[in-house]
Structure formats: C-alpha cells, structure tokens
Amino acid sequence: MPETAISSPSKTNSVVKSRIRRIGKIIRTFCIVVRIISVALLALALVGIAATYAGHDLGNTLSDLAGSSTFVQVVDASIGAGSVPDRDLRMINLFAFALSQAVFLAFISVLNGLVRDITENEKPFRVETAKQLRRNTFWLVLLIFWNVLAGAIILLIALLLSYLIEYGAYLQEKADETTRIQEQVIISLAEITENKSGQTGQHVRRVAEYTRILADELGYPQEQLDAIRLASTMHDIGKLLVPTEILEKPGRLTDEEFAIIKQHTTDGGRLLENVDGDVMRLSRTIAVDHHERWDGGGYAQGKEGDEISFEGRIVAVADVYDALTSRRSYKEAWDDREAYDEIVRCSGTQFDPQVVEAFKNRYDEINAVREQLADNIEQ
C-alpha cells in the first residue's frame, strides 16, 4: 500500500498499541526471569528449613546467605538477644524468607497476567484491571516480615502502577468520547450535505462502504478502515455552498454553472480547514482531492498521479461508481455492469489503476452493498 494521508486516531492508536506491546513484552520477559529466580530462592529456603530442622550445617549456611529478616530482628530485640535458641532463629529466618519469596512469586505471576491482558486487549487500560492489581497488591504487606523497607517500596510501586492504569482508563474513556462526538458531527454534516444536494437516498452510506471495501483490499490496517470510511462521508461537504437550483437542475449545466459546481472541492477544503480532529483533517483531504484525475485533467488543482492523496483516489472511484448507478435529477441510473465497464475503461486516465484493480477484485461485494443500500425511490 502506498503512503497514505491518514494521521487518524486509529493510526495514533496503532502506534501507541505497538509501543505498549513492546514494553509489555519487556516487562513479561522480566517477570519470567524474576519468577525463575524467586522459585530458586524459595526452593533454597525450603531446603534450608529442612536442613536446619535436621541439624545439618547446610541450614546454617543457607540462613546466613539469606541474611537476617526484619521479623528475626524484632524477635531478638523484643525477647532479648540469646534468649531464643540459634537453631529456632535460623528456622524463623528461613521461614520469613520463604514466605516473602512465595508472596513475591504470586504477585509477579499476577502482574505478568495483567500485563498480558493490557497488551492483548483492544483497550489496554481498564478500571477493573487497576482494581484487580490493587486487590492483589495488599498481599505484599507480608513482605515486611522479611524487609520493611523493600516491602514498603514494592507495595508503593504496585499501588502507583494501579492508579496509573486507572488514570489511563479515564483518559482512554475521554478519548473514546471525543471520537464518538467527532463521528456524530461528521455524520450529521454529511446528512445535511446530502439533503442539500437533493440526493435524499443512501449515497453517502454507499460511498462510505465502497471506500471501506476498497481500502481493505488495498491493504489498509484494520484499525484505519473506520477512519477512512467515516471521512469519506464528507467528500461533498462543499456543496453546502452551491445554490440548490444548480444542484437540482434537471438539464445540462452551463459552463458557468459547472464552474460553480467544481468549486465545491475548494469550498469543502475551506470549510474544514480549521476544524480540529484527525478524521476531520482526513475528511478535508478527501473533499479537496476526490475529483482530481490520475491523468491531471481533474479539478480543482489539476493534480495528477501520486500528487493526489491515496484516500482521494479511492473515494474518486467509489463516488463515480455510485453516481453512475444512481438516479439524479439530470440522468437515469446506469446498469451496474455498464458502470463497472466505465470504471475499468477509465483506469489510468481518470482513476488510479491500482484502485481500479481493487475495485475489480471486490466488485461483487461492492455491488452487494449497492443493492442492500438501494435508494427507496423508483429507479
């Protein structure tokens, strides 16, 4: 697929998700390594407990390697140094160490599962994920039996991570809400344009579906298909500024009237020029470019070939096919096979040959959409 003009939320999301997956992969690899180390340390602690119980010197060695736990230090300080037999202290020390490793191992397993959920879900941040992490985080309190400082630090880091995930869920929800509002505005404007131009049927919906099918055939990532489908509904937004008597004129247009009609691409670009939102910017690109021709004979800027945005080239085919197969005030609808032949005939002149090939490959699906979304008027 050639480089496209899309810098839509779906593309941004794709980049973000890709980065999240990479970071998640690193974290999960780290979790695996830590789990292996924790299992080994837990095993050594259990061996040490057994050896100490049996009176073997190995127990003393492993207890010394484990270091002195906070719990042992508290026992020693509260009861008095030397009051508890050395063998019992070593047993307590190894038990506290084993408990800390078991708790840490369980938490790492939970963390690994949460990271997997975050990286594999369509929406990586969820409130439920944050709450689940917090529920499992409080088990880390048991780490204080081994080391108060280390336990407190790990507990605080885990809690902070859970609140960051929850905040991410909040931002994600707001972004989704913004996207929904943007979609509603686009659809509303498209419907107003369609009614203004006298095309009271399903023209906008058909062109949008044709565009989605063609973009899919041309290799657009799945997450970008909705963006180009939605943006294509605004291709004729500039017709809002064209007088109705010209749009609905039943006969042939004069040169002056056609010149006014051609201005709708420029007017569309101007209407959308200062509108924020990635899909709206893509809508502007399509509005400006969808009447340009591959051979440079289109309007309004006379672009040719790759100078025309790829989305503009896709919508050009979708729009013309629907215009040919739809009834208008100035013409009858063409037979679908005649329209197909016309699109193919204009490959390399009016249309990008690559887009025409996609049209040919998915024509049965496109024609099925045409029949499904047929206008409720006599053809």
Which positions are annotated as active-site residues?
A: 239
Contacts of 356 (CB under 8 A, 6+ apart): 317, 343, 344, 346, 347
The secondary element (H helix, E strand) that includes residue 93 is helix 86-120
- Judge whether 340 and 363 are in contact, CB under 8 Å: yes
The verdict on whether omega for the bond into residue 300 sits within 30 degrees of 0, i.e. cis, is: yes
- Judge whether 213 and 195 are in contact, CB under 8 Å: no
Q: What pairs with residue 328 in β-bridges?
A: 331
Encoding tokens for residue 106?
């369980």
Rounded Cα distance between 210 and 282, Å, is: 17
Alpha-carbon distances of 265 from 234, 237, 247, 279, 297, rounded to whole Å: 11, 8, 14, 17, 15
Encoding tokens for residue 84?
């508890």
Rounded Cα distance between 194 and 323, Å, is: 13
- 139, 94, 124: which is closest to 18 by C-alpha? 124
- Judge whether 292 and 316 are in contact, CB under 8 Å: yes
Phi-psi region for residue 348, left (φ > 0), alpha (ψ -120 to 50) or beta? Answer: left
CA-based torsion, 240, 245, 250, 254: positive or negative: negative
